[in-house]
Structure 1
Amino acid sequence: MLIYGLKNCDTCRKALKSLPDARLVDVRADGVDPAVLSRAWAQFGADLLNTRSTTWRGLDAAERAGAPLELIAQYPALMKRPLIEAGGEFYLGWTPATRQALGLG
């Protein structure tokens, strides 16, 4: 199981603590495989882009109009997190639905 996120993100740390067998992929330090981003975008669409982040607010209108996957590749903090890959499936965010789907109640 892989958790794509940031090592200093509180939500990612909560997910990692609850999923001790998971490995954190720090998207800022390690990047994200473009194939993973493409599959996640196909599943979640615009929900994958965190438009509430400080990074997003710091972009100008021209940058915001760019291709979402290119923006995430350039600014990894724009990806909503955590993105969890388990058994070939993706889960986005550390929501009650995600926890239930992963068998955590």
Structure 2
Amino acid sequence: MITVFVLLKTTVSWLRLSRDERNAIADKALSSVLVNTDVTLRMFDAEAFTTRCTDVAMFQAKDMQSFYFAIERLRDSVLITEPYFEMVEIIPTIEDGFKIFEEQASS
């Protein structure tokens, strides 16, 4: 299992929309990004704490290819193409990777 954090920043185009419009657009776009996949997504707000990004998307996937395909669909979606969001940074991680390393190193 991999976990990837994607730092996002909203654009003025997104902020000009009503909250109802934002929710409708996001729900439709994200359902197409995650369709027929084992990739999960959790969203975190960051705009009150940093100017670097406004949101952090946490994707979890069984493998890098599953994540990659979800990101391709995200990049094709209106969220990025309008653009309503800009991708600031993508940070791939392995949860407790050091433990896995230590287990394999000791065997």
Where on the TM-score scale, by shorter chain, does this alignment land: which range?
A: under 0.3
Larger radius of gyration between Structure 1 and Structure 2 = 2
In the superposition, the TM-score normalised over structure 1's length comes to 0.26
